[in-house]
Amino acid sequence: MPLKEGEGWTVGVGETDTDNGNDKDAEKTSILVVDDRPEQLLVFRTILEELGQNLVFVRSGGEALREILTQEFAVILLDVNMPQMDGFEAAKLIRDYRKTAHTPIIFVTAYADELQTARGYSLGAVDYILTPVNPQVLRTKVKVFVELSVMRQRERRRAEERVGLAAAEAARKAAESNARRAELLSHASRVLSGTLDAAVASRQLLELVVPRLAPFAMLVPLSEQRQPQAALVCTVKATGDGCDFLVLSEDDLAVPVRDGITLALERSACVDLDDAAAHLLLSGVMVDARVPAARMALQSVAAAPLFFSDKPLGVLFVADRPGNLCDRAALEELVSRAAIAFENARLVRNLQIEVMERQIAEEKLRQASRRKDEFLAMLSHELRNPLAPISNAIELVRRMAPNEPKIVWAGEVMDRQVKHLTQLVEELLDVARIGQGKIALKKESFELSALLAHAVETARPGIEARGHKLRIKQPEKPVWLQGDFGRLAQSVDNLLSNAAKYTEKSGALDLTAKVEGGTAIVSVRDNGIGIDAALLPRIFELFEQGERGLDRSQGGLGVGLSVARSLVEAHHGRLEASSDGVGKGSEFRIFLPCVTVVQRNGDAPAGSKHVRDAGGVRVLIVEDNTDAAESSALYLGMEGHSVKAVHDGKQALDCARVFAPQVVVLDIGLPVVDGYAVARALRAAPETRSALLIALTGYGQKEDIERAMEAGFDLHLVKPADLKRLAEMIGEFSVSETRPSMATSAER
């Protein structure tokens, strides 16, 4: 095939008939033939194709340079005499290219003198072949370089395989190391997070290090001032199984240990101590005869600091035999997790100390409060003893002394001051009783209007003395309460007296009462000096008072509001205070649970007990139909029973706590809380556990009766209920004081 200028071709083993099939493609190499004569290229092809290699033919030096850029050649046959670029010039350029600087070049020429030969060898030629060529000589010379190239390729492949095997082995070892490290760190996280005791965590940390990472470890905790504390040393037992522990006091820590701590803290990272420092450190530790480190021939030492948020907690020293290197990554990650565990232990310890200190402080406060209550009780009693004879003496002087204006005036002054002193002593006694839990409430039923009237009557002298105007507003319908009349009147009196004292003369006071959701709300409002926002949260604390002048014109001990709140809370109520600020007046509101009471003989007098016929019991009617509830209450009241009526389940439960009814007539279909839930709650409450529960419902089937029995009802009535029959049931219960069964009720 004729070859034109600028063309070249490659002959592979598959294109020849001389491929013996013994060499693998991977061991084939390439031969570059450069000659401008096509007939000469055909000659070279005929001679060289028996070698079974890749033959590349080009006709110029430029084409040869392009080929060497794309592939590697075992040998280059280069014609010396070529147009444009001769063989010597092409050889120089080939040698200047780093990749082909050592590629063998055989010059082919028809004539070669000594000068030309010398020039060729100076350019890196390995041989000269004269044309016409001897096929056997050419083939033999080229074959030598081909075999050398194949050998180089084989060695290169073997080297690459060795590198690959080494990389694979390194990757395997790295994977195994990472797996062991991950397993160690996972185990460390579980172990270290399982305790909040620093001493236990220290032992666990050293057990994680020895012997997994090193045969010797020492943990030196640091104080808040970065001073070393007693160290814990851990070594492998002589038997090889388990660890030995011992404690070195801070005085036993040699100078090299302290120097290692300083170095690790300065660098804030794990550091290797030099051989001299390591030897000194181990020698200093092994001064203690209990440390068996000497038998392990330890030499290399690393120090890893434990930091938490830039705060040093300690330093971990690990030592190993010469040539053994500790897994640095595992060690650094381990101390990082250990630092978190130690910080958590420190926080828990501080919290325990704080709780303990708080408990001690609270106990001291309780003791101080108890001593204060005991002192107030003793002081009140000691002050109370001479008041009676003083009061009696004043009365005797008043009767026996002549009726002179000055003597009369002096007697009135003494009488007022004795009464004032008596009131102060009574307040102190109330504080002592409340603090000691000795306050006794005499509960009875009374009307709210009577309570307010009594409180106003008591506070009126103080109100009138300062020229205040008192406006009273209360509900039109009677509102009945259950509680200690005197104590609740005292609470309202305290609020009125405070309002009078802390309002400028000729002020305005408002006493308002209303009922919302079964709760009576009594409000005392004034336009006085108001309450500072900083004082408002503490206004009910004992002996707490606002700012006063040096004359203390308001008087008092600052115990009235505290006593009033305690008394109201003892009645299941609450007392609240509000003010818009200094100079804007204030308002105090009492919240008390209330019930509607229907008396047989009209309204009962204030503060009196219920007047009941013999055999009368306390009856609570729970019915959302107001007319039905009031008519039933009126009828049962005429039968001699003490009756209260409410209209939903929540009111019933609130009322039951203070009224403690003996009989409950309960409608099933109630708003808020249904009758079944109310019955179960009443059965669970101590005040109504043994009360007679009568169900009122519009359903009278057998399953309705069974459901009522399961909820705790004793009797079952279908609406509209026969009031006479209801009265008979209650009368029988009041006589027998035993609850009938639902079965007995159903038979009737």
DSSP state of 18: -
**Four-residue CA torsion sign, 537, 539, 541, 545:** positive
DSSP state of 610: P
Half-sphere exposure for 338 (CA within 13 Å, toward CB): 30
The span from the CA of 482 to the CA of 477, in Å, is: 17
Please state, as a whole number, how many other Cβ atoms lie within 10 Å of the Cβ of residue 290.
Answer: 12
Q: Looking at the predicted structure, is the pLDDT value of residue 606 above 60?
A: no
What pLDDT shows up at residue 512? Answer: 92
Which segments within 182-310 are labelled E, that is strand? Answer: 216-221, 231-236, 243-248, 271-272, 300-308
Q: Please indicate, yes or no, if residue 184 is contained in any of the structural domains.
A: no
Q: Looking at the predicted structure, is the pLDDT value of residue 408 above 60?
A: yes
The span from the CA of 540 to the CA of 434, in Å, is: 14
How big is the CA angle at 464 (ends 460 and 467), to the nearest 5 degrees? 145
What pLDDT shows up at residue 608? Answer: 35
Q: Under a CB-based contact definition with an 8 Å cutoff, are residues 679 and 696 in contact?
A: no
Which has the closest alpha carbon to 651: 536, 480, 530?
480
| Phi, psi (degrees; rounded to nearest 5) at 502 | -100, 25
End-to-end CA distance of the chain: 132
Mean per-residue pLDDT, 148-154: 87
Q: Please indicate, yes or no, if residue 2 is contained in any of the structural domains.
A: no
Over residues 208-243, the pLDDT tens digits come to: 888 888 888 889 998 888 888 888 888 887 666 778
DSSP element (H, E) containing 709: helix 702-711
Mean per-residue pLDDT, 8-25: 50
Cα–Cα distances in Å, from 531 out to 99, 267, 545, 563, 590?
Answer: 98, 60, 10, 19, 18
The span from the CA of 455 to the CA of 485, in Å, is: 10
SS3 583: coil
> Do 561 and 447 share a domain, yes or no?
yes
Give the CATH number of the domain where residue 669 resides. 3.40.50.2300
Q: Assign 602 a pLDDT band (cuts: 50, 70, 90).
A: very low
> Do 152 and 19 share a domain, yes or no?
yes
Longest CA pairwise span in the chain (Å): 175
Mean per-residue pLDDT, 402-418: 76
> Do 418 and 395 share a domain, yes or no?
yes
Give the CATH number of the domain where residue 239 resides. 3.30.450
Q: Please indicate, yes or no, if residue 627 is contained in any of the structural domains.
A: yes
The span from the CA of 125 to the CA of 91, in Å, is: 8
The span from the CA of 221 to the CA of 664, in Å, is: 71
- Averaging pLDDT over each range in 190-194, 368-372, 565-569, 679-683, which range is the top one? 679-683
Q: Under a CB-based contact definition with an 8 Å cutoff, are residues 646 and 603 in contact?
A: no
Please state, as a whole number, how many other Cβ atoms lie within 10 Å of the Cβ of residue 193.
Answer: 13
Q: Under a CB-based contact definition with an 8 Å cutoff, are residues 312 and 305 in contact?
A: yes
Token pair in block for residue 212: 């997994």
Q: What percent of the chain has pLDDT over 90?
A: 7
Q: Looking at the predicted structure, is the pLDDT value of residue 459 above 80?
A: yes
Comparison of pLDDT for 165 and 540, the residue scoring more: 165
Q: Looking at the predicted structure, is the pLDDT value of residue 43 above 70?
A: yes
Comparison of pLDDT for 398 and 509, the residue scoring more: 509
> Do 725 and 646 share a domain, yes or no?
yes
Comparison of pLDDT for 605 and 626, the residue scoring more: 626
Cα–Cα distances in Å, from 29 out to 40, 51, 162, 413, 430?
Answer: 22, 10, 22, 136, 116
- Plot region of 558 (φ>0 → left; ψ -120 to 50 → alpha; else → beta): left
Give the CATH number of the domain where residue 420 resides. 1.10.287
> Do 206 and 92 share a domain, yes or no?
no
Q: Under a CB-based contact definition with an 8 Å cutoff, are residues 456 and 494 in contact?
A: no
What pLDDT shows up at residue 56? Answer: 93
> Do 75 and 107 share a domain, yes or no?
yes
Q: Please indicate, yes or no, if residue 268 is contained in any of the structural domains.
A: yes
What pLDDT shows up at residue 545? Answer: 57
Q: Under a CB-based contact definition with an 8 Å cutoff, are residues 273 and 263 in contact?
A: yes
Q: Under a CB-based contact definition with an 8 Å cutoff, are residues 651 and 695 in contact?
A: no
What pLDDT shows up at residue 385? Answer: 61
Residue 402, preceding peptide bond in cis (omega within 30° of 0) = no
Burial of 207 (0-12, 13-18, 19+ CB in 10 A): middle
Which has the closest alpha carbon to 560: 579, 580, 575?
575
SS3 33: strand
Name the least confident of 26-30, 79-83, 485-489. 26-30
The span from the CA of 699 to the CA of 686, in Å, is: 29
> Do 366 and 316 share a domain, yes or no?
no
3-state secondary structure 165-202: HHHHHHHHHHHHHHHHHHHHHHHHHHHHCCCCCHHHHH
**What domain range is 400 assigned to?**
357-438
Q: Under a CB-based contact definition with an 8 Å cutoff, are residues 342 and 313 in contact?
A: yes
> Do 236 and 367 share a domain, yes or no?
no
DSSP element (H, E) containing 484: strand 480-484
Which segments within 386-479 are labelled E, that is strand? Answer: 443-447, 469-473
The span from the CA of 639 to the CA of 613, in Å, is: 8
Q: Assign 323 a pLDDT band (cuts: 50, 70, 90).
A: low
Q: Please indicate, yes or no, if residue 410 is contained in any of the structural domains.
A: yes
Comparison of pLDDT for 583 and 747, the residue scoring more: 583
* Residues of the chain by 3-state class (helix, strand, coil), percent to 5: 50, 20, 30
Over residues 85-133, the pLDDT tens digits come to: 888 888 888 888 888 888 899 988 887 778 888 888 888 788 888 888 8
Mean per-residue pLDDT, 625-653: 83
Number of domains in the chain: 5
Q: Under a CB-based contact definition with an 8 Å cutoff, are residues 515 and 521 in contact?
A: yes
> Do 218 and 197 share a domain, yes or no?
yes
* Residue in the block written with tokens 């971990």: 316
Q: Please indicate, yes or no, if residue 13 is contained in any of the structural domains.
A: yes
Q: Looking at the predicted structure, is the pLDDT value of residue 19 above 50?
A: no
Mean per-residue pLDDT, 376-402: 67
User: pTM here?
Assistant: 0.41
> Do 42 and 59 share a domain, yes or no?
yes
What pLDDT shows up at residue 605? Answer: 37
DSSP state of 686: T
Amino acid found at 690: S
Comparison of pLDDT for 176 and 296, the residue scoring more: 176
What pLDDT shows up at residue 21? Answer: 47
Task: Kindly give the interhelix angle for 135-192 and 38-48, rounded to the nearest 10 degrees.
Answer: 70
Over residues 159-185, the pLDDT tens digits come to: 888 998 888 888 888 888 778 778 877
Q: Please indicate, yes or no, if residue 177 is contained in any of the structural domains.
A: no
Please state, as a whole number, how many other Cβ atoms lie within 10 Å of the Cβ of residue 444.
Answer: 16
Token pair in block for residue 5: 């200028």
> Do 422 and 467 share a domain, yes or no?
no
DSSP state of 100: G
> Do 472 and 427 share a domain, yes or no?
no
Q: Looking at the predicted structure, is the pLDDT value of residue 289 above 70?
A: no
Q: Looking at the predicted structure, is the pLDDT value of residue 597 above 70?
A: no
Q: Assign 268 a pLDDT band (cuts: 50, 70, 90).
A: confident
Average pLDDT, the chain: 79
What pLDDT shows up at residue 500? Answer: 87
